[in-house]
Amino acid sequence: MNGSKVAKREGYVPRGLARTGPVLFSYGFRPFFLGAAVWAVVAMTLWIAALAGHLEVAGSYGAHAWHAHEMLFGFAPAVLAGFLLTAVPNWTGRLPVSGWPLAALFALWLAGRAALLSPDVIGIPPAAAIDGLFLPALLLICAREVIAGRKWKDLKVLGSLLALSLANACFHFAVVMGDHPHIAMRLGISAYVALVTIIGGRILPSFTRNWLNRAGRAEFPVPYNHFDTVAILAGIAALGAWTLVPDHPVTAVAAFAASLLHTVRLARWRGWRTWPEMLLIILHVAYAFVPLGFAAIGIGALGFVEEHSVMHVLTVGAIAAMMLAVMTRASRGHTGYALTASRLTAASYAAIVVSALLRPLAEIFPSVAASLYAVSGSAWILAFALFCAEYGPILVRKRRAVQ
């Protein structure tokens, strides 16, 4: 089937695109997906150089705090912005933000990256204030669209954006006060994982069903029902417990229960039946890190795994891998390309999965931690460098006409 027709069937229909000015700012996914991928490469390169003692990063803010912040509140919000600024118009039927307003929002995100990279130039509080503007601005834009479109069921997405805005502010406050931003990090991670369970439950079975239908296969994913609601709520409860009391036995019980529920939920979507289409397989593989992450939370709550390992199962696996999967699929679908993974795209998926599997092991096997840091970091860089190489030209040039 023609790729553009497939894209149209799956909801990738442009509306209200800017017809003048830079192509990059004609739709939200273009600048933010590309910006996120470039920053993923740059930020990780700087972090590896800082770990090796070759470079000082972020001045008095601290390299470790900067690395954690830029992954959670620098890279990831850009991907989230690109997704929401593209998906919300599809949900609400309203025109997307494009043109110079989009460019201004992107500039605000860039200002946050620049301010925190050299915070001592203007001082940490002003740098934190600049960085702290982006997520609330994105929240206001999405809230305006959801409320104007009267799509009340999508208000839960705004809840996660509000939690991220709060987590970012708390992160900066902890750094300024000389404390470790543990709670802010867990809150931010929890907000992203909650979004994965909510939005993933919308797109994974839908995309899988469409592919199976085109392939002439009859065994479809189980439609959304009360079980999905229970799984999501159980996951949110476990994440809330982990955020507040990560070492409590109640957290372990809640996390293990959520892990079981989301394992069953993933199996109900029958992702294995989409083999060998990697554009779909990666969505299911990334979601598999959700129950794996809940299991890690439970094991960590019992004292058997360090918190950094738990966090990296969720951040690199459930969050970053899912984001890369969505970035590649949306970039293809919204530019009229066939919804199938190229070799470069498949290689980027393999790299991010390798990074997700190796990074949590660094705290478990400290004798080889340096090697694990290097290999997992290099795999991360490769994953997003491949995205830049393949999708960069696609994102900055004229969109192919939908036929």
Give the residue ranges of the chain where pLDDT is below 50.
1-16, 401-403
What is the model's pLDDT at position 364?
A: 87
Q: In whole angstroms, give the CA distance from residue 197 to residue 382.
A: 27
Check residue 226 and give its pLDDT. Answer: 94
pLDDT at 18: 52
Please report, as a single letter, which amino acid is at residue 40: A
Break the chain into its structural domains and give their ranges: 21-179, 191-397
Positive/negative CA dihedral, 162, 197, 45, 31: negative
Between CA 374 and CA 178, with CA 71 as vertex, the angle to 5 degrees is 100
What's the predicted TM-score (pTM) here?
0.91
Cα dihedral: 326, 128, 312, 261 (round 10): -60
